[in-house]
Amino acid sequence: MLKITELFSEEQLSKFKERNDGSFTGECPSCGKNDNYGGSIINTKTNTFYCWGSKTVFDLLETVALLKGIISCREGRHANG
């Protein structure tokens, strides 16, 4: 199965920091949200991307659309319904 990190270019991924649990945090490529925690997280366990700025979650295909600029993170699904 495709890993979510494979959707990101090396350059995009280099802007993220790897955490102990194998996920990556960094600036949201859509809204630019960033803070001490990073503004977004690439979750390698669930293969999802989450933006803390917009509080929205993206599965693999939605992340493709997000990275291509077809949708913005604000147009994503809210994590809990």
Judged by CB, which is closer to Zn ion: 14, or 35?
35
Judged by CB, which is closer to Zn ion: 25, or 30?
30
Judged by CB, which is closer to Zn ion: 1, or 66?
66
* Phi, psi (degrees; rounded to nearest 5) at 40: -150, 165
Q: What tokens does 22 get?
A: 């194998």
Minimum CB–partner distance for residue 66 and Zn ion (Å): 8
Contact residues for Zn ion, defined by CB under 5 A: 28, 30-31, 33, 51, 53-54, 73
Half-sphere exposure of 16 (CA within 13 A, CB side): 22
Minimum CB–partner distance for residue 76 and Zn ion (Å): 8
**Buried/exposed code over 45-58 (b: 16+ C-beta within 10 A; e: otherwise):** eebbbbbbbbebbb
Minimum CB–partner distance for residue 53 and Zn ion (Å): 4
